[in-house]
Amino acid sequence: MSTVLVDLMQNDSASNGDCVNNGDCDSDYDFSKLGDKPKHLNMERQRSFDERSLVEASPGHTPWAENGQRHMDLDNLFSPSRRSSFNTPRSICGFEPHPMFAEAWESLRKTMVYFRGQPVGTIAALDNSDEKLNYDQVFVRDFVPSALAFLMNGEPEIVKNFLLKTLRLQSWEKKIDRFQLGEGVMPASFKVLHDPVRNTETLMADFGESAIGRVAPVDSGFWWIILLRAYTKSTGDTSLAEMPDCQKGMRLILALCLSEEIQALFFMALRCALVLIKQDAQGKELVERIVKRLHALSFHMRSYFWLDLKQLNDIYRYKTEEYSHTAVNKFNVIPDSLPEWVFDFMPTYGGYFIGNVGPSNMDFRWFCLGNCIAILSSLATLEQSMAIMDLIESRWEELVGDMPVKVCYPAIEGHDWKIITGCDPKNTRWMLLWLLTAACIKVGRPQIARRAIEVAELRLAKDGWPEYYDGKSGRYVGKQARKHQTWSIAGYLVAKMMLEDPSHLGMIALEEDKQMKSIVKRSSSWTF
């Protein structure tokens, strides 16, 4: 059975270990540092486009109760017709941003890549300390938080150009060491090549043939679909998604992956595709396959991958070698194989989706990406989402520490780390701040995200926006971390803008499909 909640944000191999990813300021703060003012969009958001997605919160509305029963009231929220753009001295909520916010925007704009006069993406990092690495390229997954920042700031042009350019690259012939890749594979990255003699520019795509480790991109197509929906939700412009080329691109991605993927990111991409695919002669059959797979994934994940105190105790008391469909221990997990750390790590109130389930084997590690995406895609039920937040609050030092937030806990160390990662020092930790913020807002507990952002603001800019941090609590800049990492910069911006205007959450989050209600329920002894 394939790994489910692994982190696929930077390296295609499994990440293991620590990771990184509001103060008021003077009222005369100079917003000119944000660079060019965004172009205002005159188009109305089309609420009818996506009734199955999360209905956004009004900037002035507080969608969480005051009695501790805090969660997003999806039934009473509405889709706003205006956006929050940071081109005025005061924000819409009356708060001044942290000075680091303007510095982040200035840094992000320096990473922009242009092709024939049009912005098409952002490079991975501005750190040019080692020319032979590929940080000067535009990575699909790394561009996602940059794209969200530009959309939230009313600048959709760069996002549209990126989607179209990568779609064009998808049609290229793709080989790695003479092996032909599937037709639907999206590039891992691309760069713009300038020919000063001929005065021409061309795009060069990397499908893994020149990547570190020669690893083909697994998740680029998923992120492309998710970003296409974010663009459509933000602008209200459905014409891009309805283009025949975009429809074909989505069909190719899904045809490539519908056969065997079991993963939270895949679940979210399917949900986004469900509202983007046209139900014409070609799309109808695909939609039926998507719906069937979503129901199966929802059942499978909620039944077998969810872990809380009650479930942990049940596993601890499992009987082994059970036979027939009535077996309780369906995967024949040996209780003695449970790691000692998980018993102390599991709080009384809280839970999470574990990393992997297989015959006689369960990966009990915490993966931040998978759990946050499970919340945003509504793969997690409301109760499970609340439990994930309970876990983060209960285990703050272990999961957040001095630089939020760990992508994986606990870190693989020693012999296991050497075998699984090949002793790769970069396969350790880095930042998922924007995903944590989005998940917190959706669940109605923004104070968790605000606390994490305040931790990041103490050091992130002073340390030069590093790629990742080392140490159990993230106290040290990573040994091989590149500075001025675009992902770190954009992730911080997206987190700040979502906290200021929760309606931005609608770009990346989806409300629960009414047909996929909870299959498994948490113990009735759990209260909130």
We report the CATH number of the domain holding residue 428 as: 1.50.10.10
Q: In sequence order, which ranges of 153-282 are alpha helices (DSSP H)? A: 157-170, 220-235, 239-242, 244-257, 264-276
pLDDT on residue 361: 78
Q: CB–CB of 28/104 below 8 Å?
A: no
Of the candidate ranges 78-82, 173-177, 340-344, 492-496, the one whose mean pLDDT is the lowest: 78-82
In angstroms, rounded to a whole number, what is the distance separating the alpha carbons of residues 373 and 88?
Answer: 32
Structural domain boundaries, residue 191:
99-507
Concatenated DSSP letters for 383-408?
HHHHHHHHHHHHTHHHHTTTSS--SE
Using pLDDT thresholds of 50, 70 and 90, give the confidence band for residue 397. Answer: very high
What's the average model confidence in pLDDT over 481-507?
94
Using pLDDT thresholds of 50, 70 and 90, give the confidence band for residue 97. Answer: confident
Report which of residues 344 and 331 the model is more confident about: 344
Tokens of 114: 């242009």
List C-alpha distances in Å: 190 to 204, 246, 353.
5, 19, 33
Of the candidate ranges 31-35, 178-182, 275-279, 485-489, the one whose mean pLDDT is the lowest: 31-35
473 domain-assigned: yes
Using pLDDT thresholds of 50, 70 and 90, give the confidence band for residue 13. Answer: very low
What's the average model confidence in pLDDT over 257-285?
87
39 domain-assigned: no
Q: CB–CB of 135/124 below 8 Å?
A: yes
Using pLDDT thresholds of 50, 70 and 90, give the confidence band for residue 438. Answer: very high
pLDDT on residue 333: 84
440 domain-assigned: yes
Using pLDDT thresholds of 50, 70 and 90, give the confidence band for residue 424. Answer: low
41 domain-assigned: no
In angstroms, rounded to a whole number, what is the distance separating the alpha carbons of residues 6 and 1?
Answer: 13
Instruction: Quote the number of domains for the chain.
Output: 1
pTM of the predicted model, to two decimals? 0.77
Tell me whether residue 46 is exposed, middle or buried, using C-beta atoms within 10 angstroms of its C-beta: 0 to 12, 13 to 18, 19 or more. Answer: middle
pLDDT on residue 127: 76
The answer to whether the peptide bond before residue 156 is cis (omega within 30 degrees of 0) is no
pLDDT on residue 482: 85
268 domain-assigned: yes
Task: Write out the E strands in 32-107.
Answer: none
Nearest Cα to Cα of residue 136 among 116, 165, 111, 104? 111
463 domain-assigned: yes
Element of type H or E holding 119: strand 118-122
3 domain-assigned: no
Q: Is the dihedral of CA 426, 436, 134, 110 positive or negative?
A: negative
523 domain-assigned: no
